[in-house]
A = this chain, B = another copy of it.
Amino acid sequence: MNKDSYSLQEALLYSHKMTQLTKAIWKTIEKDWQRWVKPFDLNINEHHILWIAYHLHGAKISEISQFGIMHVSTAFNFSKKLEQRGLLTFSKKEDDKRNTYVQLTNEGITLFEETMNAHDPEKNTLLKASLPLKNIYGRFPEFQDMESIVKELYGEDYLDILERSTASIREEY
């Protein structure tokens, strides 16, 4: 990583453009997500925790924090709220006393599946905004450059978990 391999102007332009594009898209996703899960009395962090625990068939708090991109304390506190609602249980493993595992209860699984059934692609703003590209390419865009950046930022692990959760979606729908 040679400092001289880009000019300050290039750096600023790239950084500014990425800020404006990712903020724009993330805020849209966030708003849609909130609207989607609110009827289930869930916020997006809580739904993300259910999502991760469901698709990974149980998960460590550290995995939820990493893949959910939330502080460990946020992951723990929202998991605790879900536990109090009877949607998940905490446990330790015999051979791994340091990590706390989260496992959905039957109620948690049912609630999560209800949220998935309530997902209406017609109300998914991002999806609708991506249809013109799908019409051109014949499929939704793949964003491999973004994937490669995320790999640099969060490590190979992050993409492994993404792969496991997409495999789980492929099996179930």
Question: When the two chains form their complex, are residues A121 and B16 in contact, meaning their CB atoms are under 8 A apart?
Answer: no
Interface residues of A in 29-68 (CB under 8 A from B): 29, 33, 67
B128 lies within 8 A of A1 (CB): yes
Give 9 new A-B contacts, CB below 8 A, not counting A18-B29, A22-B25, A23-B69. Answer: A5-B135, A6-B134, A8-B173, A9-B169, A18-B143, A24-B69, A25-B149, A143-B145, A143-B146
> Residues of B contacting A135 with CB < 8 Å?
5
A107 to chain B, nearest CB (A): 22
When the two chains form the complex, which single residue of B126, B132, B148, B170 contacts A13, counting CB atoms closer than 8 Å?
A: B170
A67: chain B residues within 8 A (beta carbon): 20
Interface residues of A (CB under 8 A from B): 1, 3, 5-6, 8-29, 33, 67, 69, 116, 119, 121-122, 124-135, 139-141, 143, 145-150, 152-154, 158, 162, 165-166, 169-170, 173
Give Cα distance in the complex from A3 to B13, angstroms. 37
Chain B residue nearest in CB terms to A140: B14
Q: Which of A22, A33, A128, A148 lies at the interface centre, i.e. has the most chain B CB atoms within 10 A of its CB?
A: A22
In angstroms, Cα B8 to Cα A125, docked, is 15
Also in contact, A28 and B153, with CB within 8 A (given A11-B121, A121-B6):
yes
